[in-house]
Amino acid sequence: MIVPALEPGQRVRVVQTVDTREGPWRTEVEGEVISCRPQPTGSWFAHGKNDKLWLQRLRLRRTDGELIDLVLEPDSEFTVLGS
């Protein structure tokens, strides 16, 4: 997965699409980057680092203060809006 260089303080828009039987479900989130880093899941996964499945996670703060954690996927779309 290619993740742009996201720095804390940047404002970004992330669009993610999930394919379902009823058709694609698209979500769009905007906020200020707090962190973007790989983190382990609680699940065991053979041959992963420390026997865990690691996922790229992005934490954002919306303008109203709400914190959002996203698991980034290969088809996640990013737009950097500014800092």
Domain boundaries, the chain: 11-82
pLDDT value, residue 51: 60
φ, ψ of residue 17 to 5 degrees: the values are: -125, 130
pLDDT value, residue 17: 93
Q: Confirm whether pTM is higher than 0.85.
A: no
pLDDT value, residue 82: 73
Is a pLDDT exceeding 70 seen at residue 60? yes
Q: What is the pLDDT of residues 8-56, one digit of tens each?
A: 999 999 999 989 999 999 999 999 999 998 887 766 655 655 666 778 8
Q: CA 46 to CA 34: how far, in whole Å?
A: 30
